[in-house]
Amino acid sequence: MDTVLNELRAEVARLHAELLRWELVVWTAGNISARVPGRDLMVIKPSGISYDELTPESMVVTDLDGKVVEGDHAPSSDTAAHAYVYRHMPHVGGVVHTHSTYATAWSARGEAIPCSLTMMADEFGGEVPIGPFARIGDDSIGQGIVETLADHRSPAVLMKNHGVFTIGTSAKAAVKAAVMCEEVARTMHIARQIGEPTVIAPDDVDALYARYQNAYGQSGSK
């Protein structure tokens, strides 16, 4: 178990650099967590620690109620939200939260990102939905994430007036969803400056999603 935890701590620490690389976070905002396979535990970023100071050793291990099991720091202020997602979505192996500029601008408007791009159909299976406003500090955000994504194929949700939360079968998959969410949010924002984008027909969305999820890449990898 120590080996698994050490590997997961290293992976989660490393993946936080991807949030900086893709310009999805500023200062100490944002966080990544990963479920510990076979255990009711998760690894998550510590609260208020700068990205250049993050190390595998600084990652925090909590149970799925958010109680610290291992670590020298307090866990992220979003720990309760992550924990709620893991408790109620057993297929989820990773959760990411960002305040990336364009996607968060859509959340500030309280508006879902419409599916007007094949990239969106591929990755999100439709629109990127808007979730409810929720206060930080308890599992209200987690409840909003789960309730919103329960009826969507999207791995991303825009929590109203807050920012982006993404899920995946792994932490890496959730990071990819966060990167792609910001990309489509930016493109759709620009499209709106020119005119009203056309939405892809549902049948075409279904076909594009099925192809990408099941046949794209090397041996179906994405």
User: Mind listing the domains of the chain with CATH numbers?
Assistant: 2-220 (3.40.225.10)
Look at residue 110 in the predicted model and tell me its pLDDT.
98
SS3 content of the chain, % helix, strand, coil (to 5): 45, 20, 35
Report the first-to-last Cα separation within the chain, whole angstroms: 29
pTM of this structure: 0.96
Mean pLDDT computed over 64-68: 98
Residue 56, amino acid: P
Residue 65, amino acid: D
For 26, counting Cβ atoms within 10 Å of its Cβ (0-12 exposed, 13-18 middle, 19+ buried), the class is middle
Cα atoms found within 13 Å of the Cα of residue 106, Cβ hemisphere only: 28
Please list, in sequence order, all residues whose beta carbon lies within 8 angstroms of the beta carbon of residue 63, skipping any fewer than 6 positions away. 40, 41, 42, 69, 83
Mean pLDDT computed over 141-162: 98
How confident is residue 131, by pLDDT bands cut at 50, 70 and 90? very high
How confident is residue 216, by pLDDT bands cut at 50, 70 and 90? confident
Look at residue 219 in the predicted model and tell me its pLDDT.
63
Look at residue 132 in the predicted model and tell me its pLDDT.
98
Mean pLDDT computed over 16-29: 98
> CA-CA distance, 154 to 175, in Å (whole number)?
14
The H or E element spanning position 190 is: helix 171-194
